[in-house]
Each structure stands twice: as C-alpha cells, then as structure tokens.
Amino acid sequence: ANRVMIFSKSYCPLSTRVKELFSSLGVDYNILELDQVEDGANVQEVLTEISNQKTVPNIFVNKVHVGGCDRTFQAHHNGLLQKLLQEDLAHDFDL
C-alpha cells in the first residue's frame, strides 16, 4: 500500500483540495487533522523543523516531502507524484 501522509486542518480548504485529489486518484492516505488533536501545535512545530514548511496541508509520499497544496498539484501535473507513489510498488516487489 502507498504511504501517503497528509497533515491537515479540518477547516482548511487547501487541505480539502489535496484530500480530493488523492481520492480522485484512488490513492489511500493517512491523515492527521492538526486542529483536532491535543498536541497538534507541537506536531506542526516539528513539521516546520523537518520540512521547512509552516503551513498545512503538508504532504509526504513514501517518506518524501512533497509540500503543500500548490506543490502537490504541481507534482501531479509534472508526473512526480505518480513516480513517488510507484516507489512503494517497487518495494512491494522486493519483498
């Protein structure tokens, strides 16, 4: 299975757009709504440190940081997203 992780906020329309993109591609994702969890602010701080990105949505595909909404759509359009999603397929064949 793909390991797509979306750090989101439930009220953020850009987060919604990214969720809809992955759904439309038929790609399952894990999600953490930072405004709905107790330590969401701390998670967001750590995310800022490791990805150099303060905003949500913040998307990782198979451990690779993709970026926010803009970057994820860009990656979709230039083929990078598909490539990152297929990384996992390669690992499955290794098993």
The residue ranges that bind ligand GSH (CB under 6 A) are 9, 12, 14, 55-57, 68-70
User: For 59-91, b where at least 16 C-beta lie within 10 A, e where not — what string?
Assistant: bbbbeeebbbbebbbebbeeebbeebbeeeeee
- Tally Cβ neighbours within 10 Å of residue 15: 25
Residue with tokens 């329309």: 13
Give whichever of 18 and 85 is closer to ligand GSH, judged by the CB atom: 18
Smallest distance from ligand GSH to CB 32, Å: 13
Tell the smallest beta-carbon distance from residue 7 to ligand GSH (Å).
10
Q: Which CB atom, from 49 or from 94, has the smaller least distance to ligand GSH?
A: 49
Nearer Cβ to ligand GSH, position 22 or 57?
57
Q: Which residue is nearest to ligand GSH (CB)?
A: 68
Task: Identify which of residues 54 and 83 has a Cβ nearer to ligand GSH in the complex.
Answer: 54
Taking CA 61 as the corner, what is the angle to CA 55 and CA 66, rounded to the nearest 5 degrees? 40
**Helix (H, G, I), strand (E, B), or coil: what is residue 78?**
helix
